């Protein structure tokens, strides 16, 4: 399972994106922040509410230099069918990655083998494709995309300041960050 600080290996999987099904290599996103949204399945109840919310905030992620990629164990053809039939999912402009064999889900520890589905999880990777944030929970609980955006903003702020600052609890853009003493830098 990929741990905080570890680098994403090269993985290519099929995806539905911009009206077509194509292979997508996660290495193609090196140099950008990546937000990976794992969810259990297409044509469900909670998942479209999350992906719709992500679609509504998508341009805010793009302005921060990030790409969102959603991932489930459905095929790219099922993603296309869902995109074509659901008004909520029709708003999705980011890639919808297909992981029917659960390769990426297993790498991130979200795979439920008995169901062949993924847990609901959010991961943020920096432009070097190192994992910097991980959140996973029961599939009955929807995530908060605004909180994901806040975490990404905080991570980018820390990176842009050379790691010389830290963002305290509930930090929001425009608020003061913490400046650790010299002996604590690198240990926070």
Q: Which residue numbers are catalytic?
A: 47
Contact present, 165 and 181 (Cβ < 8 Å): no
| Spatial CA neighbour of 95 closest among 36, 43, 148, 141 | 36
Contact present, 51 and 89 (Cβ < 8 Å): yes
- Specify the 3-state DSSP secondary structure of 164: coil
Give the strand pairing for 131-137 and 120-125.
antiparallel
Retrieve residue 40's tokens.
């259990």
Task: Please name every residue paired with 96 in a beta bridge, in sequence order, or none if there are none.
Answer: 16, 70
């Amino acid at each position: 399972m990929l741990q905080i600080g570890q680098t994403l290996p090269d993985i290519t999987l099929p995806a539905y994106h911009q009206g077509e099904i194509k292979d997508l290599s996660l290495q193609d996103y090196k140099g950008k922040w990546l937000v990976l949204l794992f969810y259990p399945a297409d044509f469900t109840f909670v998942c479209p509410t999350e992906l719709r919310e992500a679609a509504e905030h998508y341009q805010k992620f793009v302005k921060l230099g990030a790409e969102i990629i959603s991932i489930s164990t459905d095929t790219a053809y099922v993603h296309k069918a869902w995109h074509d039939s659901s008004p909520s999912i029709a708003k999705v402009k980011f890639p919808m990655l297909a992981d029917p064999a659960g390769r990426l889900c297993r790498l991130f520890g979200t795979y439920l083998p008995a169901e062949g589905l993924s847990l609901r999880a959010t991961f943020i990777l920096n432009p070097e494709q190192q994992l910097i944030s991980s959140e996973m929970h029961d599939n009955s609980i929807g995530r908060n995309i605004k909180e994901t955006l806040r975490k990404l903003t905080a991570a980018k702020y820390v990176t842009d300041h050379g790691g010389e600052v830290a963002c305290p609890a509930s930090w929001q853009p425009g608020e003061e960050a913490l400046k650790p003493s010299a002996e604590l830098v690198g240990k926070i």
